Structure 1
Amino acid sequence: MSPDFPSAHPEDPHFISRSGWLRAAVLGANDGIVSISSLIVGVAAANADRTSILIAGLAGLVAGAMSMASGEYVSVSSQADIEKADIQREAEALKENHKEEFDELVAIYELRGLKSETAELVAHELTEDDALRAHIRDELGLSEHHSANPLQAAFASAFTFSMAGALPLLAAFLAPTSAIITAVLITTFIALITLGALGAKFGGAPIIPAAVRVLIWGSIAMAITAGAGWLFGVTIA
C-alpha cells in the first residue's frame, strides 16, 4: 500500500516486514515441539507399548499440523476481513466527508507533536498524493508490513509445526523403549532453546532472553500436558 523506500542503512536492515510469517512460524514450531513431546511423554508415562507411543506421536503430528494450518488461516482471514472492511469504510468516508476526514488527519499529526501549520501542510501534501493511503496508514495504523496474509500464515505455521514436532517423534523412534521419555525430554529442551534463538535471530532481537523465554514457557506447558499421563494413568491398547 505504500511505495518501497530506500533504506538509510542497508547493512543493518529492519525486520518488521518479517513479523507476519515469523510469528506464525514460531507459534507453529513451539506448538509442534511442546504438543508432540507432551503427547509422547504422557503416553509413555502411562506405560504404553512402543508401537502405541509412536502411533500416538505420528497421529498427533499430522492432526496438529492440519489444525495449525486451518486455525491460522481462519484467524488471519478474519483479521484480513476486518482490515478490508475498515479500508472500505474509510474510502466511503473520504468521498462523503472529505473535509472532516482531512481535519481528522491534521489532528492525528498534531497529537504526534507537529505544530498546527505543519500538520496541515503534511496532511495536505499526503492527501494530494493518495488520500486513502494516508488515512489507512496514519488513521487505521495499517501498512503492507502488518497486513494479514492468511495463506502465508497457514503454510508457515503448518510447516514449522511438522518440522519441529518431528524432532521429539524421531527421538522416540530412535531411543530404546526404556529411555524414550529421557530422550524426548532432552531433545525437547534443545529444540526449544534453538527455536528461541532462531526466532530472535530472524527478528533481529536479543538471542539469550528469547531462548530462555521459549524454554521456560515451553517446559511449563509440556509439564502440565504430559502430567495428565501420570495423573490419569491412561493406557492405549
Structure 2
Amino acid sequence: MTHVLVVGGTSGMGLGLARCYAASGAKVTVIGRDAGRLPEVAQREGIRAMQADVTEAAMIQTRVREAGQDGLDLLIYSAGFYATEAEVRADPKKGERIDQTNVDGVGHVVEAALPLMRHGGRIALIASIAGLLRPDPWTTRYATSKRRAMSRFASYREKAAAHNVGLTLLVPGYVDTQELRRLNGGQRPDKPFLQQEAHAVAVMKKALDRQQARCVFPWQLHALVRLYNLLPAPLRALRQ
C-alpha cells in the first residue's frame, strides 16, 4: 500500500491532496500544528492525524519518524506561515515565524524523512510563485522566505538521488483558500488569475503522478512574473 505523509495537511491545499490520496486507497497521515483540527480530519476524512509544529525540530522530526516507521512513498511539505510587512514591522516575531516555518521547517522535515523513503519515493514542496520574484530591497519577508525555501529544497536533490528519491517543486499562484479569504477580511480576494482550491490540488496531483521535477502554475501568472523580473529596477519599484 502507498503511504503518503502530508506535513501541514490539516487545511487548505495540503488537506486537499491528503483527501485525493486517501480516496485512491493510499494510507495517508497528516501532521498539523493546530491540535483543534486533528479530530475533525481523523473522524470526517478517515485520515491519521498527528500534532506537531514544524518550527520545533525535535518535535516534528519525532512525528515524521513515527508516521514513516513502515516507510514512506510520498512526502508533501505544505506547511506555511504568512504575515504582511506591516504585521512584521509591528511584531518582529511574526517575521521569525515566517522564516522558521517556510524555510527551516523544510530542512527539519526532509532530513527526518529521507532515511524513511522507499525506493523510488518522492518528496514534494508546495512553495509560492512569490518566491520566483526577483529579489529587491522592497521584497517582502514572505517572498524572500519562499525563495529561500526553494533553494533549500533544491539543495537536497543530490542527497535524495542517493536514496533513489525524486523531488518535486510545486509553485502555485494565487489560490482561493480559506486562509487567503481570512487575510482578505473573509471576502473573495481580487488577485490576478485566482484559482479555485480544487483546481490547484488537481494540477499538483497530476504533476506528482507524472513525477515532474517542477510545476509552476498558472502559466499566465508565471509569464507575468518572468516579465516583471526583466524590468529595470525603477519600474519594478512601482509595484510597491
- Assess same fold via TM > 0.5: no
TM-score by length of 1: 0.26
TM-score by length of 2: 0.26
Q: Give 1 or 2: higher helix fraction.
A: 1
Q: Tell me which of the two structures has the higher relative contact order, counting C-alpha pairs closer than 8 angstroms and 6 or more residues apart.
A: 1
Q: Give 1 or 2: higher strand fraction.
A: 2
